[in-house]
Amino acid sequence: MPLVTSQEMFKKAYKGGYAIGAFNVNNMEIIQGITEAAGELNAPLILQVSKGARSYANHTYLVKLVEAALIENDIPICLHLDHGDSFELCKSCIDGGFTSVMIDKSGLPLAENIIETRKVVEYAHDHGVVVEAELGTLAGIEDEVNVKAEDSSYTRPEDVQEFVEKTGCDSLAIAIGTSHGAYKFKPGTNPQLRFDILEEVEKRLPGFPIVLHGASSVPQDFVKAINEHGGNMPGAIGVPEDQLRKAASMAVCKINIDSDLRLAMTACIREYMDAHPDHFDPRQYLKPAREAIKAMVAHKIVDVLGCNGKA
């Protein structure tokens, strides 16, 4: 099956009260772990590539690895650019075979965000590609996204209709309290997503797919395992999974997960290396690491997203 856009996936997910997992990919083992889990569970899938992933692994390698995954797994897969920061980057991914792009101009004032997003939408739609945009800003740090907590802001529901009408975007990422990375909330606090904002957005955009970024749950077992095997991750907690399930039953059709895969993979490799200090063949530790990714994705699909059997 060729790559697909997320259009049909989102339509079914909205109606069915579940969400599609959008997992970040950076290398072959990550792609294999994710797609094997989704393939076995017959789940539709979004594989997303950040600007940082693209410069780490190279556009062509990632596209070809995803094409290989399509041959090996009979499920619909959408290949998406995560946090595109310019028209040029979006255009390059559209021209290079992606079926979906995100243009993230959420740091700009509304009017400028609309103009920049519209430009990408026009080019993308002319090429059969769908566009995710963002309103409101999430806190957090990755290679290419760095927003301080004091500069983050919740989405204003009163802006969403105008934004979607004027840009023509196909899905909208909103800020309701999640953030990027492994350090989302202070330990000891009680994370609470702003479902009131999500409800307001849903009322103003009935049937329109909403996206949740920064949705890793940061399992404490993995943080502990990393720290017990030579790591040094200070305390951090993520988004409670029951709140993600609730979001998935509402208008949220796409849930972005990256940090949890990083934690699963790194915990596994650290444990392995500690237990086998004489091993030096990368296949020996990457094989269980790939299985750890697969187990994490299977858990998310079945227990959080609810998209198993929906391919």
Give the DSSP H or E segment for 126: helix 110-126
The number of C-alpha atoms within 13 Å of 27 and in the hemisphere containing its C-beta is 9
Minimum distance between the CB of residue 259 and ligand 13P, rounded to whole angstroms?
4
Question: What is the C-alpha separation between 219 and 86, in angstroms, rounded?
Answer: 33
Residue of 29, 36, 82, 202 interacting with ligand G3H (CB under 6 A): 82
Report the amino acid identity of residue 232: N
Q: Which of residues 158-217 bind ligand 13P (CB under 6 A)?
A: 180-181, 213-216
Q: Which of 241, 195, 252 is nearest to 218 (CA)?
A: 241
The residue from 74, 82, 126, 242 that is catalytic is: 82
Number of residues forming the site for Zn ion (CB under 5 A): 1
End-to-end CA distance of the chain: 12
Give the residue with the Cβ less far from Zn ion, 50 or 266. Answer: 50
Q: Does residue 256 belong to the site contacting ligand 13P (CB under 6 A)?
A: yes
Size of the site for ligand G3H (CB under 6 A): 12
Does 219 participate in binding ligand 13P (rule CB under 6 A)?
Answer: no
User: Which of ligand 13P, ligand G3H, Zn ion, none interacts with 36 (beta carbon under 5 to 8 A by kind)?
Assistant: none
Q: How far is CA 226 from CA 82, 220, 288, in A?
A: 27, 10, 15
Stretch that binds ligand G3H, among 65-73, 140-148, 161-169, 247-255 (CB under 6 A): 140-148
What distance in Å separates the CA atoms of residue 270 and residue 272, rounded to the nearest whole number? Answer: 5
Q: Does 180 bind ligand G3H (CB under 6 A)?
A: yes
Q: Which lies closer to ligand G3H via its Cβ, residue 50 or residue 99?
A: 50
Paired sense of beta strands 130-135 and 100-103, if any: parallel
53 touches which of ligand 13P, ligand G3H, Zn ion, none (CB within 5 to 8 A by kind)? Answer: ligand G3H
DSSP for 155-208, written as a single string: --HHHHHHHHHHH--SEEEE-SS--SSS--B-TTS-----HHHHHHHHHHSTT-
C-alpha–C-alpha distance, residues 79 and 253, integer Å: 16
Query: Residue 83 interacts with ligand G3H (CB under 6 A)?
Result: yes
Cβ–Cβ under 8 Å, residues 139 and 152: yes
Helices and strands, number each (H, E), in the chain:
12, 10
User: Which residue's beta carbon is nearest to the bound Zn ion?
Assistant: 213
- Identify the residue among 29, 82, 170, 271 touching ligand 13P (CB under 6 A): 82
- State which of residues 51, 213, 294, 310 lies at the interface with Zn ion (CB under 5 A): 213
Site string for ligand G3H, 34-73 (x = CB under 6 A): ----------------x-xx--------------------
82 is catalytic: yes
Q: Which residues pair with 50 in a beta bridge?
A: 82
State the minimum distance, in angstroms, from the CB of residue 83 to ligand G3H.
6
Interacting positions 94-113 with ligand G3H (CB under 6 A):
none
Work out what residue 215 binds among ligand 13P, ligand G3H, Zn ion, none; the CB cut-off runs from 5 to 8 Å by kind: ligand 13P
Report in angstroms how near the CB of residue 197 gets to ligand 13P at its nearest.
17
Query: Nearest Cα to 295, choosing from 42, 36, 69?
Result: 36
Q: Rounded to 5 degrees, what angle do the CA atoms 44, 47, 48 make?
A: 140
- Nearer Cβ to ligand G3H, position 50 or 137? 50
**Residues labelled catalytic:** 82
